[in-house]
């Protein structure tokens, strides 16, 4: 139980898919029938569990294409990065205090940007790195204190075109367990 490794491979084929097509004039967009969608990828995780130290690393890869009714192929995995990876380490310093740090890399991905004239275009969203930390202190069997520090280095990034993302933020609280 000290070291484990898992990998999942997948292939997903769908027929008769429906997609949204933007138009420059009214009605500015329609749903159309596509021929098929083919996605494939894998996800792997490596975990290490020692007495007071827990560590894990993961890697995910996904790719896919959609073919419309006319036979045109497009890479339509919008907002889904081809590559994602992460590392997590936590340590139990004593019976009452533990701390952990998480790192996540999200690779380049595409999204659709809508223009004021109702046209749209596919844009590339840049990759980004996030680092988060978690602290936990146990006061008693029923009471615990915790703090989460997210986006420690105030990374500027975009997940969806047109939507804000959080900069550095934190949450702290008290956990009370009722038995």
8 to each of 5, 59, 60, 81, 86, how far by Cα in Å?
Answer: 10, 11, 9, 17, 16
Cα separation, 54 vs 20, in Å, equals 44
Query: Is 48's pLDDT higher than 80?
Result: yes
* 21-35 average pLDDT score: 79
Q: So what's the pLDDT on residue 20?
A: 77
Instruction: Quote the percentage of the chain above a pLDDT of 90.
Output: 69
Dihedral sign of CA atoms 29, 78, 42, 133 in order = negative
pLDDT given for residue 2 in this prediction:
95
Which pLDDT score is estimated for 54?
Answer: 97
Which pTM was predicted?
Answer: 0.84
CA distance 108 to 85: 12
């Amino acid at each position: 139980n000290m070291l484990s490794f898992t990998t999942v491979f997948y292939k997903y084929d769908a027929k008769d898919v429906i997609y949204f097509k933007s138009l420059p004039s009214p009605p500015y967009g329609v749903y159309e029938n596509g021929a098929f969608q083919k996605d494939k990828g894998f996800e792997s995780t490596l975990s290490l569990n020692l007495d007071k130290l827990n560590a894990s690393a993961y890697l995910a890869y996904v790719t896919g294409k959609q073919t419309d009714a006319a036979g045109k192929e497009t890479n339509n995995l919008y907002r889904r990065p081809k590559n994602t990876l992460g590392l997590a380490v936590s340590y139990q310093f004593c019976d009452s205090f533990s701390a952990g740090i998480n790192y996540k890399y999200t690779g380049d991905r595409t999204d659709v940007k809508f223009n004021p004239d109702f046209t749209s275009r596919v844009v590339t969203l840049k990759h980004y790195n996030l680092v988060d930390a978690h602290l936990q202190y146990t006061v008693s069997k029923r009471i615990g204190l915790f703090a989460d520090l997210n986006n420690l280095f105030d990374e500027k990034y975009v997940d969806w075109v047109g939507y804000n993302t959080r900069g550095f933020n934190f949450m702290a609280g008290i956990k009370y367990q009722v038995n």
